[in-house]
Chain A
Amino acid sequence: MFELILNVLLFVFFGWAFFTHVLEAAVPAKVLKNPYALKPDVWPKAIIILLEICLLINIIKIIRKNKGKENFTISAFIASIPEFFKSKLFQGILILAVASFILEPLGFMVTSFLVLIAYGWLLGARKYGQLVLMSLLITFILYIVFSGLLSVNLPRGTIGFLRSFALTLEGIVQNVKNLFGGSKPAEETVQAATALLRSLPVMLG
């Protein structure tokens, strides 16, 4: 039933898009004047028409195939919805959705730690002490590999003390790199560490 509903939704959505969103800006006059130019709406419209025909055939096929089957009813589908919301799959989707929104304010380190704990728990980790330690360790390794070795700019977070923490860490990594590379110590580290120390009283109370 879910397959049928999805196909119908796609059919309706593409139909709506065909009439409303294929062209969202005016076509330049020189294109309109050129009789040999392929207007920018022709290609997507042709695809949508073919898509709608195929979807319609598919919908008919699904109905024919499942006709008379016990659970092929709307009520059976509605009855199965609460089950989905209780499923681990839904919780997994939720964890990732939340992660994608907290990544910016909380930064990489905190998000990574939380995702590793939450998803690890979801997948069946029950030794909590070990899970917390491993999550810390993996976060640290990922940070060193990507930020330290591969110089990828990971999100620092927008919340004051978390940002200072990230900057301090980056500074330390930079200093370690400089030790091996032989250049002067980064002044930003000192500045970031000072900022972190200043924000401590705010954090504590």
Chain B
Amino acid sequence: MSMGQLLMSGISAVFNPSMFFMVCIAIILGTVFGALPGVSATMAVALGLTFTYTMQPIPAIVFLTAIYCSSITGGSITAILFKIPGVPSSAPTTFDGYPMAQRGEAGKALGVALLASAIGGVFSALAMFLLSQPLTAAALKFGPSDLFAVTFLGLSILTCLDSDHILTCIISGLIGLLLACIGQDKMYAVQRLTFGSSQLFAGVEMIPVLIGLFAITEVFNQTNPKKKRLSAEDGVTGGKVNTKMPSLKEFLSIKWTLIRCSLVGTVVGILPGAGATIASFMCYTMETKLSKYPEKFGTGIIDGIAASEASNNAATGGAMVPLLSLGIPGGNAAAVMMSAMTLKGVQLGPLLLTQQPTYLSATFMSMIVTNILMVIVAMWIAKVFAQILAIPYYYLGPIIVMLAIIGSYANQMAIADVQIMVIAGVLGLLVKVCHFNSAAIVLGLVLGGMCESNFSRAYTMSKANVGAMFSPVQHPIAFVLIIICLALLLSPIIMPLFKKKKQA
């Protein structure tokens, strides 16, 4: 299918009144979820999944994509008005957003945040659309050893992101990989690690585990609150605000910031494991260094808000690139998207473009539509935000719990799934105690099956010779990728040695 045909199929899939209505509902849900502290973008997607069980694949994809994109934007509302990021990736938005709000410029700060989010989002959607064809073409030429190396790279990158807890990060990834082994082996259908439970024959059910880890654990955490919860009066403007778009002159003054941060955000989003949070911090620091007036950053300038918001929304779209064309999620929220889309019968990976191109174009088009509609819807939400915050957590928390219960149950109408969800919620608490990384566990779990089956195929094809699997002559791509993986994995051991030598 050519680019033009793809575009047309996307437009015909999304541009109809019922779909527009659904996108609006999803944006409202996503923005509100994102704006509420304690509800992450991942949780928003996990809870949004509950609404999509009975939908057809395309509406479900459109609905979830809209929730996914808008939840990141919602975080900026609380960041600017309350100095508390609604989602972690909005943290740098507080640096300049809150001082602006204190000066009485909350409306303008919000306007810039929404506009920057939309530009970042549209940019990354275009990147996704343009990159998916060449990436798919390349991925179709990949053999099992190359595919194994790509998946393994996705897991290895995780380790160098959380540099303070590298060991626990590796342990988490390995636990995820081991969880993926539970049930019947995909190559020869031999039972493994089921501990006699018939529930586990088909493997660990992904959806309840994800809902448990991301929604229930968070509600548990909020059950023992250490801090006072937000109320509308805490905000600089009493929570009520009128958004105001920046003037053309102001907009032109930040155009390069917007372009740079959208680009960097997209690239960071494409890297597995590195999500919106890393992108926004990275771009904020980058802009401080590149700016002609670095001293003004942090005092309340629109450049800071634009850098943070353009990049975190760009990263959201960027994460969809490897997900759609290679079947490798770029982060937590993308991993939930992956499970949801697989449930809907979407074949993520190289086959998507060749066999189900409409799904790809629907995702692209819904990202574009969401990012544009979001500006209008989020503006309205910012206006009524005081009322939303007035919903006490003793109603919101139990509602999240009920949505999670329905979401887990409706997956396959099984009570056992609800029990798995509760167990996963408790495990999420233990993961926190041990300083393990839940993102690494989820990526391990999601990628484990693919990693093993490709390794197994490559092993057989190279006649049980592991060296030949990654030989630079036969499999140059796999060779290069494995070298990068080894460098990443061994860097925590090697780097300190270098530092010691330098010091000596």
Contact = CB atoms under 8 A, between A and B. Distances in A.
The secondary-structure label for the interface of chain B is: helix
Interface string A74-92: 0000000000000111011
Contact of B190 (A23, A47, A97, A100): A23
B406 A152 contact: yes
A150 B54 contact: yes
B167 A125 contact: no
Contacts of B459: 36-38
Contacts of B170: 54
Interface stretch (B215-223, B293-301, B350-358): B215-223
A198 interface: no
Contacts of A19: none
B401 A119 contact: yes
A88 B409 contact: no
Interface in B395-423: 395, 397-399, 401-403, 405-406, 409-410, 413, 415, 418-419, 421-422
Interface in B17-76: 50-51, 53-55
A103 B415 contact: yes
Contacts of B220: 89, 92-93
Contacts of A153: 410, 413
A108 B459 CA distance: 49
A174 to B, nearest CB: 15
A55 B178 CA distance: 14
B167 A54 contact: yes
Interface string A29-51: 00100111110110110011011
Contacts of B194: 21, 24
A120 B430 contact: no
A27 B187 CA distance: 11
A87 B224 contact: yes
A47 B223 contact: no
Contacts of A152: 53-54, 406, 410
Counting chain B residues whose Cβ lies within 8 A of the other chain, the interface size class is 35 or more
The secondary-structure label for the interface of chain A is: helix
A125 B170 CA distance: 42
B456 A44 contact: no
Contacts of A93: 220, 422, 425-426
B188 A44 contact: no
B470 interface: no
Interface string B186-197: 011011111110
A28 interface: yes
Interface in B176-207: 177-178, 181, 185, 187-188, 190-196
A54 B220 CA distance: 29
B455 interface: yes
Contact of B174 (A51, A92, A96, A146): A51
Interface in B148-179: 167-168, 170-171, 174-175, 177-178
Nearest to A131: B394
B464 A36 contact: yes
A96 B425 contact: yes
Q: Kindly name the residue among A7, A36, A131 whose own CB sees the greatest number of chain B CB atoms within 10 A.
A: A36
A43 B190 contact: no
A6 B430 contact: yes
B422 A96 contact: yes
A100 B423 CA distance: 10
A154 B190 CA distance: 34
A3 interface: yes
Nearest to B194: A24
B393 interface: yes
Contacts of A135: 398
A7 B146 CA distance: 34
A101 B435 CA distance: 30
8 contacts: A21-B194, A21-B195, A24-B192, A38-B459, A40-B190, A51-B178, A135-B398, A150-B54
Task: List the 9 closest pairs (A to B, CB-CB), nearest first.
Answer: A123-B394, A125-B394, A119-B398, A40-B185, A92-B223, A24-B191, A44-B181, A38-B456, A40-B190
Given A24-B190, A44-B192, A151-B54, 5 more contacts: A22-B193, A27-B188, A89-B220, A100-B422, A101-B419
Interface of A: 2-3, 6-7, 14, 17, 21-28, 31, 34-38, 40-41, 43-44, 47-48, 50-51, 54-55, 57-58, 61, 87-89, 91-93, 96-97, 99-101, 103-104, 108, 111-112, 115-116, 119-125, 131, 134-135, 138, 142, 145-146, 150-155
